[in-house]
Amino acid sequence: MSFEHKQVIQFPDLAQNYLFPGSQTDLSQMISNHSRLRIGGFNPYRYSNSKAGANFAKAESGKLVRTEGPPTVQQCDGHVLLDKLNKVVMFSPADQVITVEAGILLNDLNKYLLDSGFEIPIGLNEKDQEECIGDLMAMNLPHWNLARGGTWRDWVVKMRIVLANGEIVTSGADVVKSVSGFDIHKLMIGARFTLGVISEVTLRIKPRSTPKDYPAIALNHGILFLTNREGLKELLEYSKCHTEDDDEFVKHAMVFYIEDESCLVLTESFQNHFNDAPFDSAKFGHVWRSHVGEFALPNFSESDQKLMRRTKAIFDPTNKLNPGEFGFF
């Protein structure tokens, strides 16, 4: 089964040559035949230089598009979008797994699973449910169900990846548990398509649970992070001071989920609305949470930088895939 192809125009300020592979072989050829490619769809979590103010505006479609600020990626010969790779390849409720192409929208996937009583417990908001799962995995977005549902890494058991040389490789197996060498698929999650392009995944699925209500909180700058209880208390205080008179701010409120007060996960971000000093989350030992904003290499520890550079050099030595991402220029 496949779903309707919903073509969207994204990143109007960047590459104009949109490429929509219809098969994994197409994707492989596209990657082989180009020297620099932007991969994947628009992601609103990349706020660019937030201190400079808003970088996004709403397009007619209702989606946010970049309007100013330095481009995250360099000019490319083409922009690959996975939208047409949207087939369900295999579904086995008794084995608790489903295999789908990476262009399927999370929303479509969860609708498909609804009748059989299963779900992917990645609790993204409504807007992000309309993104394809390949993009969502590449960004590894945090979500309100993180404490219980984990990240994509916890649900992907097998992946097909098109590497920078066009080679299609497989990692993992169609079973809920496997230790079979080095898990390339884990490395691809959150790698923003800089090491390879996710083309097909097998996901472990879980019985659908009853939705709960979660508290919400707003913050005035676009960061996501995990913090501890001390950080949480401070954060709550801080947010109270900044949420009263800005409708837009509340509208774009960050949502977080606290499981027994142990873990805070902010799951929606947006650009600055104020010129105030940002919340000093570093004070509370936070970690930047999952791929929000333009994290370039200098943001990482020295050893992380070294490993990242080495990884990029091994997997994409000519910097073909998403050049500029993570600061790989």
Partner 1 sequence: MDFSTLEAILRPDQILSGAAASRGYDCDAYTVDRSKPSVIVLPETTLEVAAVVRWCAASQVPFTSRGAGTGLSGGAMPALGGVVISTKRMNHILEIDLENRCMLAQTGIANRRLTDAVKADGFHFAPDPSSQSVSTLGGNIGENAGGPHTLKYGVTVQHILGVTMVDPLGEILTIGGKLGCGPGYDFLGLICGSEGTLGVVTEAWVKLTPLPKAVTTALVAFPTIRSATETVAGIIATGTIPAALEMMDRGIMNAVALAFKLTFPSEAQALLLVECDGDDADVVAKEMESVRTVCESNGCLEIRIASDEKERANLWMVRKKGIGAMGRIAPSIVTHDGVIPRSKLPEMLDFVYEVAEAHKIGVANIFHAGDGNLHPCFYFDDRDPLQVERVIEAGEIIIKKCIELGGSVSGEHGIGVEKMDLMPLMFSPADLEAQAMCKRIFNDGMLCNPCKVLPNQRGCAEHKMRWRGVAT
Contact call for residues 294 and 72 (beta carbons, < 8 A): yes
Site string for partner 1, 75-114 (x = CB under 8 A): -----------------xxxxxx-----------------
Residue-by-residue DSSP string for 42-84: --TT---SGGG---EEE-TTS-EEE-SS--SS---SEEE--TT
191 binds partner 1 (CB under 8 A): yes
**Closest distance between partner 1 and the C-beta of residue 246, in Å?**
27
Q: Does 170 bind partner 1 (CB under 8 A)?
A: yes
Of residues 179 and 241, the one with the C-beta less far from partner 1: 179
Q: What does DSSP say about strands 18-19 and 78-80: parallel, antiparallel, or unpaired?
A: parallel
Backbone angles phi, psi at 58, to 5 degrees: -85, 130
Query: Which of 182, 275 has the CB closer to partner 1?
Result: 182
Candidates 6-14, 65-73, 267-275, 283-291: pick the segment binding partner 1 (CB under 8 A).
283-291
Name the burial class of residue 165, with classes exposed (0-12), middle (13-18) and buried (19+) by CB atoms within 10 angstroms of its CB.
middle
Answer positive or negative: Cα dihedral of 27, 29, 31, 33. negative
88 vs 101: CA distance, rounded Å? 6
In this structure, are residues 42 and 65 in contact, taking their beta carbons and an 8 Å threshold? yes
Please pick, from the candidates 8, 9, 54, 175, the single residue that binds partner 1 as defined by CB under 8 A. 175
Using CB under 8 A as the binding rule, whether residue 153 contacts partner 1 is answered as: yes
Phi, psi of 100 (to 5 degrees): -140, 155
Q: According to the binding rule CB under 8 A, does residue 227 interact with partner 1?
A: yes
Q: Work out whether 117 is an interface residue with partner 1 (CB under 8 A).
A: yes
The nearest distance, CB 59 to partner 1, in angstroms, is 26
Applying CB under 8 A, does 189 fall inside the site for partner 1?
Answer: yes
Reading the block at residue 307, the tokens are: 């490993």
Among the residue ranges 101-109, 121-129, 180-188, 235-243, the one whose residues contact partner 1 (CB under 8 A) = 180-188
In order, the DSSP letters of 151-204 are -GGGTEEEEEEEETTS-EEEEE-SSS----S--HHHHHTTSTTSSEEEEEEEEE
How far is it, in rounded angstroms, from Cα 36 to Cα 284?
40
User: 315, 197 in Cβ contact below 8 A?
Assistant: no
- Min CB(87)–partner 1 separation in Å: 18
Shortest Å distance, C-beta 156 to partner 1: 10
**Quick one: which of 163, 197, 254, 321 contacts partner 1 (CB under 8 A)?**
163
Cβ of residue 282: shortest distance to partner 1, in angstroms? 12
Minimum distance of partner 1 from residue 155's CB (angstroms): 10
Taking the complex as a whole, the smallest distance from the CB of residue 212 to partner 1 amounts, in Å, to 13
Q: Distance of CA 213 to CAs 210, 216, 256, 314, Å?
A: 10, 9, 11, 45
Q: Toward partner 1, which CB reaches closer, 66 or 291?
A: 291
State how far Cα 282 lies from the chain centre.
23
Minimal distance in Å, beta carbon 93 to partner 1?
6
In order, the DSSP letters of 262-280 are: S-EEE-------S-SPPP-
Q: Is 184 in the site for partner 1 (CB under 8 A)?
A: yes
Residue number with CB closer to partner 1 (94 or 241): 94
In the set 36, 38, 66, 291, which binds partner 1 (CB under 8 A)? 291
- Which residues make up the interface to partner 1 (CB under 8 A)? 92-97, 117-118, 140, 150, 153-154, 161, 163, 167-184, 186-187, 189-191, 195, 206-208, 226-229, 260, 262-263, 285-292, 295, 300-301, 303-304, 307-308, 310-311, 314-315, 326
